[in-house]
Amino acid sequence: MVALAIGEQISSEEQYIANILISIICLYGDDGLPLEIVDREFENYCGFPIPWKQFGANSLKSWLITLPRIYVVYDYFNREVLIEQSPKSLHIKNLIKNQKRHQPQPNMGYNDDQWHVNDHQTITSTNFLHLSIENVQQDANRYKNYAQLESMLPLFYRHQALGDDFFVDIADTKMGYYIPENGPKQIGLCVAGQTIAGLTERVKSADHIAPRVVVMIGYQDLINDQSINSMVTDLRQLVVELKKRQTRITLVTLAPSPKLPNVPRFHWRMDIFNRAILDYSNDPILACNVIDMEAIFKREISRRGSEKFTRVARNDKYKVFSDYGKKIFLTALKACLREQLGYEI
């Protein structure tokens, strides 16, 4: 299989559509997005159907399989589903190794074995051809829906994520969202190093907030030695602001992290703050859904040992999760948020 992002070029408008589709596909996780509902899901998010006809395709499927990083495969129920593959998700190769895709262009000078994640030497600027950047007429109204969607990223299982390094890390390394290499590490309202009060200010000034949000925030406040009383007060103000936006809130307790100094005062302060989060599950005025991520991590640590949760790769730019910690976090998040969706009328 050849990396289509290198071997094919698509227009800027098609790339906009592809980026939105990748975001929607990521919401469905490893199950993939069923082909039969892809157009409906896209229209739910953007307000208009996928304009595949204007790209000269004979069908939606025939256009989808030309997009980089998007593949149509069969799941365990023999349904056609869309999955996303990037260098960060090579495990998906097992699902598509028997799927027929476009043949590689002749004499391109590379093969599938060259595209391993750690083999950076084979990926150079000469492999990328940017031919149509200046050929698209920019229309502010045309891309208003795209801008609105981008402002609500990252989306995890139909919930807008609000938080700090933890959600930025997951969005970057596991979900395939674009995070600039240089400058602040930020996507939507998730910002590395963000405090609770900082997130509240961003919520106040945001033009759009999704109807469902999942919030995990507070690590930077702990590291900054912010008082627990201030943290609890700031959290309540954040919940008040979100309630004003008529959004359904899921709060996530802070989980043990290699980034948090291994000092007792940090741990007892985190425990107090997490208990304040848990109290929102039965708050008479500001009730929220709650995921007790701390309890989930502590249970896994007791079963697996702490090393699996503290060992961080040397080149990890966030250092808030071990690889195993990311797996546990996403599994728990997916299970809980999907269960909540099942209660919707």
pLDDT tens, 176-197?
A: 888 877 778 889 999 999 999 9
Residue 106 is predicted with a pLDDT of: 40
Judge if 115 and 183 occupy the same domain. no
pLDDT, position 137: 53
User: What is the band of 78 on the pLDDT scale with cuts at 50, 70, 90?
Assistant: confident
Same domain flag for 307 and 270: yes
Q: Looking at residue 144, what is its pLDDT?
A: 65
In a domain, 57, yes or no: yes
On whether residue 147 sits in a domain, the answer given is no
**Alpha carbon separation from 302 to 139, 295, 306, 328, 335 (Å, rounded):** 56, 11, 8, 14, 21
The pLDDT, as a whole number, for residue 341 is: 77
Residue 105 in this model has a pLDDT that exceeds 50: no
121 and 160 share one domain: no
CA distances from 268 to 141, 223, 272, 291, 343 (A): 51, 13, 6, 19, 34
16 and 87 share one domain: yes
pLDDT at 64 over 60: yes
Residues 115 and 23 in one domain: yes
- 146 in any annotated domain: no
Per the DSSP assignment, residues forming a β-bridge with 83 are 71
> Which of 82, 108, 135 is the C-terminal boundary of a domain?
135
* 142: in domain: no
In this structure, the answer to whether residues 330 and 207 fall within a common structural domain is yes
Owner of token pair 């929102």: 280
- Listed as own residue / partner, the contacts of 56-63 with beta carbons closer than 8 Å and 24 or more positions apart are 61/35
Of 40-44, 197-201, 213-217, minimum mean pLDDT range: 40-44
Q: Do 193 and 309 lie in a common domain?
A: yes
pTM tops 0.85: no
* Chain center to CA of 333: 12
Q: Is residue 88 predicted with pLDDT exceeding 60?
A: no
Kindly give the pairing relationship between strand 186-187 and strand 70-74. unpaired
What is the rounded average pLDDT of the residues 69-73? 84
Higher pLDDT, 239 or 8: 239
In a domain, 317, yes or no: yes
Query: In this model, does residue 246 exceed pLDDT 80?
Result: yes
The arithmetic mean of pLDDT across residues 313-338, rounded, is 82
Determine how many CB atoms are found less than 10 A away from the CB of residue 90: 12
The residue-averaged pLDDT of 163-178 equals 86
- 84 is written with which tokens? 């996303």
Q: Average pLDDT, whole number, for the chain?
A: 79
Residue 14, domain CATH = 3.30.420.610
CATH of the domain at 299: 3.40.50.1110
How much is the pLDDT for 272?
94
| pLDDT tens, position by position, 209-218 | 999 999 999 9
- Domain boundary residue, one of 108, 135, 162: 135
Q: Please state the rounded mean pLDDT for residues 220-224.
A: 92
**Contact in structure between 133 and 105 (CB atoms under 8 Å):** no
Shared domain for 23 and 51, answered yes or no, is yes
Whether residue 292 is found in the same domain as residue 237: yes
Q: Kindly tell me if the per-residue pLDDT of 103 is higher than 70.
A: no
Q: Has residue 311 been placed in a domain?
A: yes
Q: Domain for residue 140, yes or no? A: no
User: At 263, phi and psi to the nearest 5?
Assistant: -125, 135
pLDDT confidence band for 41 (50 / 70 / 90) = confident
| Claim to verify: residue 125 and residue 168 sit in the same structural domain | no
Model pLDDT, residue 119: 40
In a shared domain, residues 331 and 239: yes
Greater pLDDT, 37 or 111 = 37
Give the Cα separation of 293 and 166 in Å (integer). Answer: 12
Q: How far is CA 272 from CA 88, 267, 275, 295, 309, in A?
A: 36, 9, 5, 13, 22
Answer yes or no: do 175 and 317 share one domain. yes
Last residue of a domain, one of 135, 161, 179: 135
Would you call 89 exposed, middle or buried from its count of C-beta atoms within 10 A (0-12, 13-18, 19+)? middle
Rg (CA), the chain: 21
For residues 165-183, give the mean pLDDT: 83
16 contact partners, CB below 8 Å, separation of at least 6: 143, 146
CB 25 within 8 A of CB 35: no
Distance between CA 165 and CA 19 in Å, rounded?
22
Separation CA 192–CA 178 (nearest Å): 14
Distance CA 80, CA 30 (A): 14
What local confidence, expressed as pLDDT, does residue 143 receive? 60
Query: Of 32-36, 82-86, 256-260, where does mean pLDDT reach its minimum?
Result: 82-86
For residue 18, the number of C-alpha atoms closer than 13 Å in the C-beta half-sphere is: 22
Structural domain count, the chain: 2
Q: Return the SS3 of 72.
A: strand
Phi, psi angles (nearest 5°) of residue 317: -80, -10
Cα distances (Å, whole numbers) of residue 267 to 41, 236, 254, 278, 301 = 42, 21, 10, 16, 15
**So what's the pLDDT on residue 304?**
84
153: confidence class by pLDDT, cuts 50, 70, 90: confident
Structural domain span for residue 164: 152-342
Model confidence band, residue 7 (pLDDT cutoffs 50, 70, 90): very low
Cβ-Cβ contacts under 8 Å for 263 (sequence gap 6 or more): none
In a domain, 246, yes or no: yes
